[in-house]
Structure 1
Amino acid sequence: MSNQISFRILEDIARDLSSEMVCFPTFLDITFRVRTALKKPDLTIEQLGTLVSAEPLMSTKIIRLANSAAMNRSGRVIADLNRAIARVGMEAVRSVSFAVAMEQLLNSKKMAPFEALSRRLWEHSMHVAALSRVLARRLTKISPDEAMFAGLVHDIGVFYLLSRAANFPDLIADPAELHQLLVQWHADIGHALLAAMGLPEELLTVVQEHELEHVFDTVGTLAEVLFVANRLANVQHGWRDDAYSAPPDAAVVAQLFAADELEPLLAESADDVASLKAALGGQA
């Protein structure tokens, strides 16, 4: 099969994302509502709690996150939604809204043909988000919540492309072409989708360039945090199909961290990775 189907999908997406009235995918409705609320400078925890409480799955995940080892060092159990929002912070709610949106998409019937791929993708996103938060907290002055959100959305273009590809049986039947489409276009599509949602320019750039090679000596910027987290996650939790991709290259990470530096960092962050995955991923 030629790549005409891929071109049709890209043309449809380009029309949607360049129009004055962008029609957001259904699975992003929750994220868009939360993003809109967070743009209000006078938004209170109580107002955000009212919005969130309308989504039981989101409420559950926020409470779970507030009680995770990564967020709750004291071990004091929190059961109240508003207190949970106060504990994790308003920006972290944005990450939870995205996690809920992705879970709804993955559980939809339309994604059944891509079940194995989409599960690998979500597992990868969970690891990148958790590792981004840990790296930001341990090595930089960047907000850990900002880094976590960047990790969650860095491959949003793949999710979006898969949701559109589900409408093209010929592409479903050609995994090699689908894989090529995802690898080649997911970063640019992710940039365009997040831009249409009005997210900050720095985040757009970081998402668009997260697959590009970076040359740096220390981890200090959001782009560097995401790049390293993505490379680390790819070693054991990549989403690409081995039949169509070369093995992940961890050489850049090895150049940044000596073995005696990297191993303790990963060991120290293991609990955070596990607790964030448990809080954001899986069923409530």
Structure 2
Amino acid sequence: MEKLKDFAQVVTEAQRGELVFPTSVNAALSLQLTLADPDCRDADVISKLLAEPVLAARAVALANSAVFRSNGAALATSVRAAVMRLGYRNLYTLAAAMVVRQFGARIRDPQLRMQAEQLWKYTAHVAALAYVIGQRITRTEPDTALFAGIVHEVGGFYLLGRADAIPGLLDDPEEWMGAAQEIIAREIMKKLQVPEPVALAVVSLRGAAVGIPPEGLRDTLLVARHLCPVPSPLPQEQDLMLGRTAALAGYLEQHPHVASLLDAAAEQAKSMSAALIV
């Protein structure tokens, strides 16, 4: 009963906009605000990145990943080169990745911290796969798919962080999986100013079956989650997962060229996800 009361309190806080954010996200949020400014200049972005060493290092690493360093492009060896190659939209996604990642960075409980680390590895791989799947399979705008992949488990990260302060909060998945988790995820995405089409795709994942053929942002995320080689530490809806697996397997059997494209996407995603892991 006390756990239910605690979880209800967390949901109520989220609905009121009383979200508990780590102070370490300030640099990333500041970069996001700069990038969202229509009068933003390259010099402003470079200055913000140089002020945050982790963000600067991740920007250069992402610029040198296989997806962005194509056709024999030279190695990016500076923040300026990374900004030129990635563009503002992908830098915005990188800042969002930093924000999401920091929700679990201050967790003290060893088990919860391990779950947060695993959830981040899973998220980075899903995001990287979503980028190449959107580009090569579903014809969804790849930058948007990458961003959606980064934020699609933001509710899970937030709850893991709150569970560190409220022991036992997530002991019973039936208490927090479902509508309450969606409420929290939507309120966090609203706070982070996630565009509504992305937020809608994310909250519609629960209970969704992948379309055949897969198309659109939601299907891009579903296929990426299905292909992800890194397991999520959070409970999954097994029946729906089996249904998606069977439907997708049948589609691939009829379209072997799509299967080869997905294999290639998974290989490209390895390099990209490594750059995203902070």
Q: Same fold (TM over 0.5)?
A: yes
User: Matched residue pairs, number?
Assistant: 273
Q: Show the counterpart of 1:192.
A: 187
Q: 2:201 aligns with which of 191, 194, 206?
A: 206
Shift of 1:117: 1.9
Q: 1:240 aligns with which of 234, 245, 250?
A: 234
SS in 2 for 1:169: coil
Q: Show the counterpart of 1:70.
A: 67
SS in 2 for 1:237: coil
> Contact 1:17 / 1:196 at 8 angstroms: preserved in 2?
no
SS in 1 for 2:165: coil
What is the alpha-carbon distance in structure 2 between the residues aligned to residue 103 and residue 253 of structure 1? 30
SS in 2 for 1:89: helix
> Contact 1:53 / 1:59 at 8 angstroms: preserved in 2?
yes
Amino acid at match of 1:220: E
> Contact 2:24 / 2:102 at 8 angstroms: preserved in 1?
yes
Residues 263, 240 of structure 1: CA spacing in aligned structure 2 closer, same or farther, 3 A cutoff? same
The question of 1:267 aligning with 2:269 is answered no
Superposed CA RMSD in Å reads 2.7
> Contact 2:107 / 2:113 at 8 angstroms: preserved in 1?
no
Amino acid at match of 2:82: A
Q: Show the counterpart of 2:3.
A: 5
1:37-71, CA deviations, whole angstroms, 9 ceiling, x for partnerless residues?
22211212221111121110000000011111111
Counting only pairs closer than 5 Å after superposition, residues 67-106 of structure 1 correspond to structure 2 as: 67-73=64-70, 74-106=72-104
Q: 2:53 aligns with which of 40, 51, 56?
A: 56
Shift of 1:120: 2.4
Residues 271, 76 of structure 1: CA spacing in aligned structure 2 closer, same or farther, 3 A cutoff? farther
Q: Normalization by structure 2: what TM-score?
A: 0.86
Q: Show the counterpart of 1:276.
A: 272
What is the alpha-carbon distance in structure 2 between the residues aligned to residue 245 and residue 218 of structure 1? 22
Counting only pairs closer than 5 Å after superposition, residues 75-224 of structure 1 correspond to structure 2 as: 75-171=73-169, 176-177=171-172, 179-184=173-178, 185-214=180-209, 216-224=211-219
What is the alpha-carbon distance in structure 2 between the residues aligned to residue 281 and residue 144 of structure 1? 19
What is the alpha-carbon distance in structure 2 between the residues aligned to residue 201 and residue 247 of structure 1? 25
Q: Which runs of 5+ in 1 are unaligned?
A: none
Residues 22, 209 of structure 1: CA spacing in aligned structure 2 closer, same or farther, 3 A cutoff? same
